[in-house]
Amino acid sequence: MVEDKPRRNTRQRQVVLEELRKLSTHPTAAELYELARRRLPKISLGTVYRNLELLVQMGVIRKLETAGSEARFDAEVNQHYHVRCVQCQRVDDVHGLPKNPLGEAAIPVNGYEIVGLRLEYIGICPSCQDDSADEDPAASQVNENQVAL
């Protein structure tokens, strides 16, 4: 069994955490790397990944993983839900929902002891909606026809 050693708070870890806490979006490790490099030009991408994983293990941040998408990170560890843009993959918080919006009917499920719930809405973010509105209407019609085929 591996013992949990006390972890010293390195400058790199502190910068990664500070940059994450500044954002309301949920950045990828690569996006956080670019932000951290502005303050620590010699930081490596591997250092950012290791520190993010350690912060997740410590319970300081959350890792958001969805099949087919790159992991994103969230400095808000309290129970809340997310909405993901299906076009640009942006992720935002959704607040104001009950802790279990499915109600008590979801517990127990098929003999499982339920220990948590992840709910993610999917949609098109305001920025992508604006980009779609700015497109040529004829081009938009072609895209709709292609989807319909």
Q: Render pLDDT for 10-19 as a digit per residue (tens, 0 to 9).
A: 999 999 999 9
Quick one: which of 84, 77, 83 has its CA closest to 21?
Answer: 77
Rounded to the nearest 10 degrees, what angle do helices 45-57 and 11-21 cross at?
80
The mean per-residue pLDDT over the stretch 25-40 comes to 96
Q: Residue 6 has what pLDDT?
A: 55
The mean per-residue pLDDT over the stretch 83-112 comes to 76
Q: Does domain 80-149 have CATH number 3.30.360.10?
A: no
pTM of the model: 0.72
**What's the mean per-residue pLDDT of the chain?**
81
% of the chain at pLDDT higher than 90: 44
Q: Does pLDDT of 135 surpass 90?
A: no
Question: What stretch(es) of the chain map to CATH 3.30.1490.190?
Answer: 80-149
The mean per-residue pLDDT over the stretch 91-95 comes to 86
Q: Residue 3 has what pLDDT?
A: 47
Question: What stretch(es) of the chain map to CATH 1.10.10.10?
Answer: 1-77
Q: Are 91 and 26 in contact (CB under 8 A)?
A: yes
Q: pLDDT grade, residue 131 (50/70/90)?
A: confident
Q: Residue 105 has what pLDDT?
A: 54
Q: Does pLDDT of 102 surpass 70?
A: no
Report pLDDT digits (tens) over 51-81. Answer: 999 999 999 999 998 777 889 999 998 888 8
Tell me which fold the domain 1-77 belongs to.
Answer: Arc Repressor Mutant, subunit A (1.10.10)
DSSP state of 22: T
SS3 percent helix, strand, coil of the chain, rounded to 5, is 40, 15, 45
